[in-house]
């Protein structure tokens, strides 16, 4: 079995597809090494194991919507795209979504996956309770302050069988796209630009001293702008990837629609196949945003030949121990690479060295070459997280090469 982009093949000796929590408990009790697998959208070995891989593909039900508490409880294999339409019909929403609605709730939360917006936390911040099958096969509920350590768990605590998420009232957004924002305007007015709407994303090839596209997702009934810091409004729908059809993208051109049909960049009806791409992403404290962007722009000649597109987003601070956004608002610099791992592998250390002065952290589910000694000091609650894993998994049943590298 391979991941979504087919750049990684799982090494598990056995792949299980349970249909109940009891089956998961039995698998975990009988296994020496085990990991859970969600939507397979990670680009590295975070979900791999040499022995037992537990696919959550059959556990994807919306279990309950509590109207009084304004929460929803879902099974561990539920994808956002399966959940959001039902929430909207019931009058509810989630604060934010990632660019693809196809990813699983459990996997996205375990890796601090995010959308964009200076006031929008990563997807893990919506979690108010989690049920997890831990190493001895028992079902443990994490709630309250326990979630600070467990919500971004990197798969190390066990198999997440259900999550309860805090909801908000449903709302509408309109999406506008602006083209060719001058790079100097983008950096000179960075905070004002990214704070100008509910969610703002830059898409750039890092060439030509410009931001190719700015995607602005605004709450209605606010009005669009005909001109945006020197960028012109797009005259038709766009795809952030150059040369690709916008048919698979969420509606633009200022057409209002439900939150879940505007926050992602791509439609749920568009099912990603094995994408011919690789992904890397680095999270940088917001005060370092502009110098970090300028440092990457200086590498344009090396980056552009290997790049499909790069996206820049913003994320609010949180209290989650293993979140890159722990007590600090950040920007994310994301790279969607052409599928040339040998060349990308040589370039990533150059990018990481340029970003090191700006306290860059890697996205847990993407590709990175950064040595743990570089990013571990930036996670001040890492010792507490190690202790939490030891409490619930003393023999390291859920440890794998990825966790050994990043935590040891």
- Residue 273's pLDDT band (boundaries 50, 70, 90)? very low
CA 81/CA 72 separation, integer angstroms? 14
Q: What is the pLDDT of residue 386?
A: 98
Q: What is the pLDDT of residue 72?
A: 98
Sign of the Cα pseudo-torsion (15, 20, 25, 26, in order): negative
Phi, psi at residue 273, to the nearest 5°?
Answer: -90, -155
Q: Mean of the pLDDT values across residues 32-37? A: 98
Residue 268 has pLDDT above 90, yes or no: no
Helix H segments across 166-268? 183-188, 190-194
Tell me the percentage of the chain whose pLDDT exceeds 90. Answer: 94
Q: Mean of the pLDDT values across residues 331-350? A: 97
Q: What is the pLDDT of residue 224?
A: 84
Domains identified in the chain and CATH numbers: 172-373 (3.30.70.2520)
- Residue 248's pLDDT band (boundaries 50, 70, 90)? very high
- Residue 243's pLDDT band (boundaries 50, 70, 90)? confident
pLDDT digit string, tens, across residues 58-76:
999 999 999 999 999 999 9
pLDDT digit string, tens, across residues 152-201:
999 999 999 999 999 999 999 999 999 999 999 999 999 999 999 999 99
Q: What is the pLDDT of residue 347?
A: 98
CA 236/CA 244 separation, integer angstroms? 13
Of 140, 175, 124, give the one whose Cα is nearest residue 392. Answer: 140
pLDDT digit string, tens, across residues 302-324:
999 999 999 999 999 999 999 99
* Angle formed by the axes of helices 289-297 and 341-355, nearest 10°: 140
CA 253/CA 255 separation, integer angstroms? 6
DSSP helix/strand/coil, 258: strand
CA 100/CA 115 separation, integer angstroms? 9
Residue 26 has pLDDT above 80, yes or no: yes
Residue 223 has pLDDT above 90, yes or no: no
Of 48, 155, 123, give the one whose Cα is nearest residue 385. Answer: 155
pLDDT digit string, tens, across residues 93-143:
999 999 999 999 999 999 999 999 999 999 999 999 999 999 999 999 999
Q: What is the pLDDT of residue 271?
A: 63
Q: What is the pLDDT of residue 156?
A: 98
- Residue 385's pLDDT band (boundaries 50, 70, 90)? very high
Answer whether 393's CB lies under 8 Å from 407's CB: no
- The mean predicted confidence, pLDDT, of the chain is 96
CA 81/CA 287 separation, integer angstroms? 33
Q: What is the pLDDT of residue 215?
A: 98
Strands 62-66 and 71-75: antiparallel
CA atoms in the 13 A half-sphere facing the CB of 119: 5
Residue 272 has pLDDT above 60, yes or no: no
CA 176/CA 234 separation, integer angstroms? 8
Answer whether 175's CB lies under 8 Å from 252's CB: yes
Q: What is the pLDDT of residue 227?
A: 85
- Residue 276's pLDDT band (boundaries 50, 70, 90)? confident
- Residue 222's pLDDT band (boundaries 50, 70, 90)? confident
Residue 274 has pLDDT above 90, yes or no: no
| pTM for the model | 0.96
CA distances from 13 to 22, 51, 86, 119 (A): 21, 5, 37, 43
């Amino acid at each position: 079995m391979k991941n979504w982009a087919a750049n990684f093949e799982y090494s598990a000796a056995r792949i299980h597809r349970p249909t109940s929590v009891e089956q998961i408990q039995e698998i975990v009790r009988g296994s020496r090494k085990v990991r859970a697998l969600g939507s397979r959208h990670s680009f590295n070995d975070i979900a791999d194991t040499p022995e037992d891989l537990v696919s959550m593909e059959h556990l994807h039900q919306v279990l309950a919507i509590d109207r009084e508490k304004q929460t929803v409880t879902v099974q561990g294999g539920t994808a956002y795209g399966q959940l959001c339409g039902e929430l909207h019909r019931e009058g509810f929403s989630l604060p934010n979504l990632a660019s693809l609605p196809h990813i699983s709730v459990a996997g996205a939360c375990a890796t601090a996956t995010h959308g964009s917006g200076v006031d929008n936390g990563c997807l893990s911040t919506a979690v108010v309770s989690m049920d997890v099958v831990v190493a001895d096969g028992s079902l443990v509920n994490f709630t309250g302050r326990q979630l600070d350590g467990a919500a971004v768990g990197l798969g190390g605590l066990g198999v997440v069988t259900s999550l309860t998420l805090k909801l908000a009232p449903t709302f509408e957004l309109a999406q506008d796209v602006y083209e060719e924002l001058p790079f100097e305007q983008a950096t000179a007015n960075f905070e004002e630009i990214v704070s100008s709407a509910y969610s703002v994303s830059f898409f750039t090839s890092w060439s030509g001293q410009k931001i190719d596209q700015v995607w602005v997702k605004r709450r209605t009934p606010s009005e669009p702008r005909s001109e945006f810091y020197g960028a012109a409004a797009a005259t038709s729908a766009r795809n952030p990837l150059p040369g690709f059809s916008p048919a698979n993208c969420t509606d633009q051109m200022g057409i209002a629609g439900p939150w879940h049909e505007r926050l992602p960049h791509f439609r749920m009806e568009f099912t990603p196949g094995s994408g011919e791409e690789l992904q890397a992403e680095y999270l940088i404290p917001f005060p370092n945003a502009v110098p970090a962007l300028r440092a990457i722009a200086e590498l344009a000649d090396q980056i552009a030949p290997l790049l499909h597109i790069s996206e820049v987003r913003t994320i609010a601070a949180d209290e989650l121990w293993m979140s890159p956004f722990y007590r600090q608002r950040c920007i994310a610099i994301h790279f969607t690479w052409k599928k040339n791992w040998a060349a990308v592998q040589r370039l990533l250390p150059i990018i990481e060295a340029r970003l090191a002065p700006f306290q860059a952290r890697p996205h847990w589910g993407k590709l990175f070459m950064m040595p743990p000694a570089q990013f571990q000091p930036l996670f001040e609650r890492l010792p507490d997280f190690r202790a939490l894993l030891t409490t619930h998994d003393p023999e390291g049943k859920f440890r794998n090469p990825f966790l050994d590298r990043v935590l040891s």
